Every structure is written in structure tokens, then in C-alpha cells.
Structure 1
Amino acid sequence: MAVPKKKTSVSKKGLRRAGQHHKLYANNNVVVDNTTGELTKKGCISPSGYWKGKKIFETKADREEETTEE
């Protein structure tokens, strides 16, 4: 069984882990929604409630527009 000869110091451990932060930010793919033109993350619903060109849910702004029209 392999056993380290000396304890790994906090600074050495931090230096080894320092290069792993780029992995967290690499998968943030931003896509432009075709119907609204808004920027969304890939695979997510747009802030205005559209998914693949279809209205999925009503937003607060949509409800306010309906009350002002009446």
C-alpha cells in the first residue's frame, strides 16, 4: 500500500487545486433565442418564458400587460 512519506502542506494542496477552477466556468454555453433574441444558457427556458419557439409559462410582465389592456 502506497503511503506518502511526508504530509502535504496546505500551500502545496492549494497549488494543486488552483488549476481546477477553469472547469467550473468552461461549460457556460450562451445561446441566442430565435423568437425573442434574448441570451439564454443552452437547454434552459428564456427569461420571457419561451422554449424552442413556444410559450411555456407566463411571466410577471405578461400578467401586468394584460391588466393594463383591460
Structure 2
Amino acid sequence: MQLLEWVLVFILIGPLILTVIVLGLSLAGVGIKDLSRYLSQLRAEEEPLPEDTIPDVDVDRYIEELKRQRDEG
């Protein structure tokens, strides 16, 4: 009798649980889509960084300076 009761519980409650899970996932999917749309809109509104924010580095001069310091020290 115990097995029959468990089978009935799964038959009656199983579809309800699956419906709740599917509904929750679909609602979460809509939320994620809205969030990604909002973030892409924010990204599109941002101005690009100006070129002068990236410092120019003369690598060859830097290496020569390090060699000179090593030879002196």
C-alpha cells in the first residue's frame, strides 16, 4: 500500500511541480533578456575612451635605460 500511495503522489503532484519549475524558468528567462537588453543599451550610450588616456610607451628606450642601469650597478 505504501508504494501505491507514493505512485499516486508522484502522479498527482509531479505535473504541478514541473509546471512551477517551467513557469519559474520562463519568468527568469524574460528577466535575463530584459537585463541584457538594458546593459547593451547602457554600453551603446557610453562614449569611447579618448586616445590620450593610454600612455605612449617607448619600449626600446625603456629597455636601453634598464640595460644602462644594470651596467652601472
Category of TM-score, reference length = shorter chain = 0.3 to 0.5
**If the length of structure 2 is used for normalisation, what is the TM-score?**
0.34
Q: Which has the higher contact order (CA 8 A, sep 6+)?
A: 1
**If the length of structure 1 is used for normalisation, what is the TM-score?**
0.35
